[in-house]
Amino acid sequence: MDNQNNAHVSEHEVELLSLFKSLQQLSHNQFEITISSEKMLVDDEYRNLVFTELYELNHPEFTVIIDRCRALYNQINAEAVMHSSAQEVMAKQSSVDNKSILMMASGVILLLLMMVFYFFFSEPSTSTENMVPTTSPTLQPVATTSAQTAPASQLSLPVVAEPSAQAKTAFTLHGSNTIGEKLAPALIEAYLTTLGAKNLVWKQGDNAVERAVEYTLNGEALKINLQAHGSTTAFKGLAGGMADIGMASRRVKSTEVESMKVTLGDLSKVGNEHIIGLDGLAVIVNQNNPISKLSTDTLAKIFSGSITNWSQIGGPDLAINLFARDLKSGTWDTFKNLVLKKFNLSLADTATRLESSTELSTLVSQDEGAIGFIGLNYIQYNKALAISEGAGTSAIFPTRFTIGTEDYALARRLYLYTPTAASNQVKEFAQFAISTQGQAIVEQTGLISQNIKVESVYPMEEAPAAYNRYADLGKRLSLNFRFNYGDQDLDNKGKRDLERLIEFMEQNQGRRLVLMGYSDSIGAKIKNTQLSLNRAKAVEKELQARGIPVMAVEGLGEALPVANNDNEQGRERNRRVEVWLL
């Protein structure tokens, strides 16, 4: 029995190693991703990490191989359980056989004693109260409450198709559809639940992106209004006094800051700008399209209409059909600035413009020649492409980790903006959104939260020796500290992330941190190396002042750029401090 089981496991291991080698070869040929087939066989954590990252690429060959690997592991586990159970049964069987005769004899003796007792000591009863009825009594129905038939909780207000004028407005949100479609409603509901609000019900407005949630709190009928027409409407709503909170999938522009500073305060400051999550602007194509990666340069040529057929970039002889978000969308604004504007190009007139992210994703999935750009949680049945910044940078796929660290070329931040003189309730809601509880909701809605995650790191040939030394010892945390140009001041996200890192280390006492600073390539190399070290030391100083130990600080200068240095957005992403955990 043991020999047979060992033979099965050996056969499974042979097949698994063969599958791992196929996965290794495919990863390298199709995506230039390096993985170790041998390490996958012996390291469960590494294998699960590889499976998770590759599965998210929605590549059909990856999916088939990974599914077969998982099935084999399930089979190995099932056989191990069956083998263990069989041994237990055999061990117990002899004991059961020996006891069964004794138990049967004991039962017969007990039955005889009961019959004797009944015959000598029981008396027939003549009372009708003790007589057993010859027919069963009529059963009375039991009162039950069905989830389908029980009446729903009712508001004190009449339930109508549109929001009621009788409910008092607590506050109003205007702006991004990326935030307003799923995330904002989930945050609002969770926030109201923490307040003890009752009878929550959503009412539809004049169109699909307008609605309001009505509720009762302390006996008062209230509502929160939500309009998600696009990020530009966030700042128009704030400026016009129609919105208390602006939702944006792009940062407020300097011209917008200046135009509203007198009445609303400086919206670029940390007290008014609340980064509530991260999103990856995924470039999607139909699953049947063999193209797997593009540079931002090629991407700009496609969406500007310079490249019109997939055969021009190594794909099938098929016309390229463009799908883009509408003019009010923050998704469009981000794509325009990160891709088209970078190369002084404009969107082709042939592009189909859509207000709904869901509709855009659906149309791409139905058209083998289609390409579009979308938030990460709208990829659905499409394939996301790896994107590179061009020469000197690797093509990176949009995953939760690469977006969390903002290494992915088209990663973006999601914002709430509140005026300096906003009400306490508005500020309380914004604070809830960036809290640990609020960030968990961000994750649940398919976006990328800022709650810290840990990721394995592996040596790279092009990396400095210090990087590879720590890659063998530690793991990387899913946050990077970034800085304003030419100085050591953390940006607004960095200031919030500092508090998150402190909380994380308080929960992981005994661990040590390594900080690795990087710079852009503008200026002298020696100066940039020193500047990258100074930035890492600035983070170290903040952490040590709060009792958080830092084991080492490294300044790696211009090494390992995640973006091109020929534009400000790219330089800003390269000016970073990575955080590693030992």
DSSP designation for 116: H
The one-letter amino acid code at 281 reads: L
> How far is residue 322's CA from residue 311's CA, in Å, rounded to a whole number?
15
- Residues 183 and 445 sit within 8 Å (Cβ to Cβ): yes
Locus of tokens 């840990």: 454
Three-state DSSP class for 113?
A: helix
Residue 151 burial (C-beta neighbours within 10 Å; 0-12, 13-18, 19+):
exposed
509 φ/ψ angles, rounded to the nearest 5 degrees: -65, 145
Q: pLDDT per residue over 396-414, tens digit each?
A: 999 888 999 988 989 889 9
> In the structure encoding, which two tokens stand for residue 115, read together?
């019959």
Three-state DSSP class for 171?
A: strand
- Residues 21 and 37 sit within 8 Å (Cβ to Cβ): yes
> In the structure encoding, which two tokens stand for residue 119, read together?
């015959």
> How far is residue 486's CA from residue 497's CA, in Å, rounded to a whole number?
21
Average pLDDT score over residue span 122-133 = 36
Q: What angle do CA 454, 458, 460 make, to 5 degrees?
A: 140
Instruction: Give the DSSP per-residue string, 294-317.
Output: EEHHHHHHHHHTS--BGGGGTS-S
> How far is residue 391's CA from residue 37's CA, in Å, rounded to a whole number?
29
CA distances from 447 to 283, 444, 557 (A): 16, 7, 31
Residue 137 burial (C-beta neighbours within 10 Å; 0-12, 13-18, 19+):
exposed
Count, residues in the chain: 582
- Residues 417 and 272 sit within 8 Å (Cβ to Cβ): yes
Binned at pLDDT 50, 70 and 90, residue 484 comes out as low
> How far is residue 89's CA from residue 266's CA, in Å, rounded to a whole number?
74
Residues near 110 by beta carbon (within 8 Å), at least 6 away in sequence:
none
Residues near 150 by beta carbon (within 8 Å), at least 6 away in sequence:
none
Closest CA to 369 of 322, 323, 324, 320: 320
Most confident of 9-23, 28-42, 73-87, 510-524: 510-524
Binned at pLDDT 50, 70 and 90, residue 155 comes out as very low
Average pLDDT score over residue span 476-505 = 87
Q: pLDDT per residue over 184-238, tens digit each?
A: 999 999 999 999 999 999 999 988 899 999 999 999 999 999 999 999 999 999 9
pTM of the model: 0.65
User: Any idea which of 84-88, 235-239, 306-310, 322-326 has the lowest mean pLDDT?
Assistant: 84-88
Q: pLDDT per residue over 495-550, tens digit each?
A: 999 999 999 999 998 899 999 999 999 999 999 999 999 999 999 999 999 889 89
Closest CA to 240 of 259, 266, 268, 213: 259
> In the structure encoding, which two tokens stand for residue 385, read together?
């492409």
Q: pLDDT per residue over 245-289, tens digit each?
A: 999 999 999 999 999 999 999 999 999 999 999 988 899 999 999
Angle, to 10 degrees, between the axis of helix 525-544 and the axis of helix 492-506?
A: 50
E strand or H helix at 278: strand 273-285
Residue 273 burial (C-beta neighbours within 10 Å; 0-12, 13-18, 19+):
buried
> How far is residue 548's CA from residue 499's CA, in Å, rounded to a whole number?
11
If you compute the radius of gyration of the chain from its CA atoms, what whole number of angstroms results?
32
